[in-house]
Structure 1
Amino acid sequence: MYNVAISIFAFVFRLIAPFHKKVKLMIKGHAKTFDILEKQIDPNSKYVWFHVASLGEYEQALPMIDIIKRDKPSYKILLTFFSPSGYEVQKNNKIVDVVCYLPFDTKKNVKRFLDLAKPDIAIFVKYEFWYNFIHGLYLREIPVYLISAVFRPNQLFFKPWGNVFKKILHYYTQLFVQDHESKRLLKNNGINNVTVMGDTRMDRVIKIKEDVRDMPNVDKLTSSLKENEKVLIAGSTWPEDENLIINYFNTHAYLKLIIAPHLIDEAHLKQIESKLKRPSIRYSQLSDAEILDFDCLIIDNFGLLSSIYRYGKIAYIGGGFGAGIHNLPEAAVHGLPVIFGPNYKKFLEARELIRNGGGFTINNETDLNKILKNFVMSPEDLEIAGEKAAEYIYNSAGATQKIVDKIVF
């Protein structure tokens, strides 16, 4: 049944590719995968293969890649992506040795991929469960690990009809999970190849914080604030998030806003600008303007958000009114309390930040207004919440080295 589903999945994607930009990129990329492997894999070298879904999972893999490159120089790195939004950004990555798409999980593709790549070790990140690839590695006795994983009772593995999917978990050499709840769930379902290690992303965001770039224009805006003024950084926002944030911003003069939408296209940027009733400017236009003439800065460039958080006092992270919240640790590491929408329960870091007082969830505009008003009226509460957010990140660090130490090279 799984193989039939994968075949149908691949057929549908090829069918809709001409009409869907991202799917078209994926199908074109798949057509190049085996050629890339044939030309770039060195048959005389040993490879650690990292597979990630997209950019978020790549950020979780990167601390391990860095340590392996540093401490295990005899190994080269093969990096594969499932999502075009990951591959198209990282296809010219200079940190790893080979980058390509993961082809669809058919038995034929798996055999050809493994014959060409010949990985010595495979590391899959968080939620990547491709049955034929994992089984193929298992049959070839190639160690395969899952890192930074989180398991929940509502996943397919644990449904009454999920035994076929559960079987895949036995094929991993080791499952490195983020929390004890995941380990208990797996153990109760007969899965014992499990170790609690935490989330490698915590190590990544700490490193990013240490390497942030200076942004003089943003610094000028935030260093000129009056005593009661605050800067809210709204990161990776969607329209549902923007409606709430902008409504509050429009009617509260003491708030400065830096907003970095998840999608940066002209139509979306104009939509944001149409909602704003106070002076705003795009980051790309700053060279011709005086930043102090504006109350809102719209980030219309990728790659800046992680450096911008350092200039804020409060962070709002988007996605919580859609499929799920984006990168909370990236903001929390800077000592910013993080606010996010209601779809957060599958994110361990969100639940933990709420528990320790550094994270705050909202269901509507009233909730947001209440939290922001409290932070403005009570600077002490704001400071404590920010300290709690950063404390959680630093207390959760260290997973990367512990995992590398457990892997048999």
Structure 2
Amino acid sequence: ERLGRCKRRRSRRPCVWIHGVSVGEIRSAASLVSELERELPGYEVVLSTTTGTGQEVARRLYGGRRVFYFPIDFSWSVRRVFEAIRPSLVILVELEIWPNFLQEAQRRRVPVVLVNGRITEKSYRGYRLVRGWLFDPIGKIGTFCVQTERYAERFRRLGIPAQSIHVTGSVKYDELEPEEVAPGAVREELGLDAGETVLMGGSTHPGEERLLHAAYRQLRAEHPRLRLVLVPRHTERADEVAGALERAGERVVRRTDQRALDGDGRLPQGTVLLVDTVGELGRLYAAADLVFVGGSLIPHGGQNMLEPVMHGKPTLFGPHVQNFREPVERLLAARGARQVSDGSELARALGELLASPDEAAALGRRGRGALLAARGATARTVRIIKDFLAARGERLPEPSSADGALAAGPADPQVGA
């Protein structure tokens, strides 16, 4: 598929092609898919991703819809996929610029819209060097729906016309309603006892497991019922993480092996649970009492801290969160999360929260409240998309009154092709 070997879309309906690079982008598009299908009921929605993990999550989350790999940016592979999918509109989630792809869309007069757009300072400096090529004043991307005024200003400096840029907020906030799942049921599924205190490290990166484990070992002396659950960002690191823990004297149980334990999956006392599966983390956060979100104690840029906060969990992260600058600022202003500078401060902050359950609970409530107050970007984004299409002369269908668009049946018999 990445070389353009994509099966032809059979439906004759107009088509919206949504592209998200990986898991985060494709998850954040869920509210957008639902709203588009309600507001543009005559359109078929198809989705592409770049990464394999993104494919896996997209196929599960968007069952009944066409999901495929985004083509490598060769002119001939891009052309093949455009011929197969025949999109009426392309929507890029956040920002991913592929010159041949955008050139082909422009050649075919297929409008391109950026949604949930953001551009880091590093990316801005890089794009500025080639703005005459990628950021043509007439724009290969027709409309920019961006998360913050800071991002809007960067796009304006790149030569994008101000009238093409709209500050909508982040659609991620609209996707943050946790699954209807009882924390007790998730704890039972993980083999955790009701009386345990669960410290979960989500989306951890190399080096962070060691720091979190050191904090856990230090705190366990005062809190013997503390349980460590680690969820590495990349499951292929499971052997590496398990080996390091075992060399440190821990007994490790992998999520994929749980059902073989004593016939019921119950975790033995004192073991560390290593989650080596894909796509479960958002739901598993419900089982936690304290959460550290990785990619933040190392210079990576952070991982999604919004999911545990929306579960009402007291959530901590490190200083390197530039990929989530706006939500971090929002959470810290509301005193709805804690930011630590290093492993020592992480251990200290965790100890304070363990010693004060009331403050930990209040931290979780404040964080959740701050995120709930930020919702509404999806509806704003879809209104802008409809106005953009109408200005191009598109005849738009009346919105559907049916609820539950995400549960709709397949629009194309080649689902998943």
What TM-score results when the alignment is normalised by the length of structure 2? 0.80
Would the alpha carbon gap of residues 85 and 303 (structure 1) be closer, same or farther in structure 2, given more than 3 Å must change? closer
Q: Say yes or no: does 1:224 pair with 2:195.
A: yes
Say whether residues 1:316 and 2:286 are aligned partners: no
Q: Name which of 66, 86, 102 aligns with 2:34.
A: 66
Number of the residue aligned with 1:130 = 98
Q: Is the 8 A contact 2:235 2:276 kept in 1?
A: yes
Q: Deviations over 1:307-346 (max 9, x none)?
A: 2212222211111215232221111101123222332123
User: Equivalences for 1:209-288 in 2 at 5 Å?
Assistant: 209-210=179-180, 214-217=185-188, 221=192, 223-225=194-196, 230-253=197-220, 254=223, 255-265=226-236, 267-275=239-247, 277=249, 280-287=252-259, 288=261
Aligned to 2:281: 305
- Which of 337, 354, 366 aligns to 1:376? It is 354
CA distance in 2, matches of 1:389, 1:169: 41
Match of 1:100 in 2: 68
State the identity as a percent.
Answer: 22
Q: Which of 305, 318, 332 is residue 328 of structure 1 equivalent to? A: 305
Give the gaps of 5 or more residues in structure 2: 387-395, 397-417
2:219–2:351: 8 Å Cα contact kept in structure 1? no
Q: How many residues align?
A: 372
Which range moves more in the overlay, 174-183 or 98-107? 98-107
Tell me, yes or no, if structure 1 residue 399 matches structure 2 residue 388: no
Root-mean-square deviation (CA), in Å? Answer: 2.8
User: Do the aligned partners of residues 59 and 94 (structure 1) sit closer, same or farther apart at CA in structure 2, a change above 3 Å counting?
Assistant: closer
Matched with 1:23 is: none
CA distance in 1, matches of 2:187, 2:342: 35
Cα offset, 1:295, TM superposition: 5.2
2:253·2:274 contact (CA, 8 Å) conserved in 1?
yes
Q: Is the 8 A contact 1:123 1:146 kept in 2?
A: yes
CA contact (8 A) 1:157 1:166 kept: no
CA deviation vs aligned residue, 1:87-121 (integer Å, no higher than 9, x gap): 35545775353222222223333333323322111
CA deviations over 1:173-221 (Å, ceiling 9, x no partner): 2111111211233334442111111222222221x43367832525873
The offset of 1:241, in angstroms, is 0.9
**Which of 331, 338, 346 pairs up with 2:315?**
338
- Greater RCO structure (CA 8 Å; 6+ sep): 2
Instruction: Measure, in 2, the Cα distance between the counterparts of 1:89 and 1:376.
Output: 34
Cα deviations across residues 57-108 of structure 1 (Å, max 9, x unaligned)? 1011122112333443322122122223323554577535322222222333
Q: Distance in 1 between matches of 2:362 and 2:63?
A: 38
Q: Which residue of 1 aligns with 2:149?
A: 180
Task: Output the amino acid matched with 2:211.
Answer: L
Sort the Cα spacing of 1:88 and 1:270 in 2 relative to 1 into closer, same or farther, 3 A. same
Listed as ranges, the gaps of 5+ residues in structure 1 are 1-28
Q: Quickly say closer, same or farther: Cα 1:277–1:188, change in 2 above 3 A.
A: same
The one-letter amino acid of 2:180's match is E
Q: Which residue of 1 aligns with 2:390?
A: none
**Bigger proportion of residues as helix:** 1
Secondary structure at 2:323 match in 1: coil
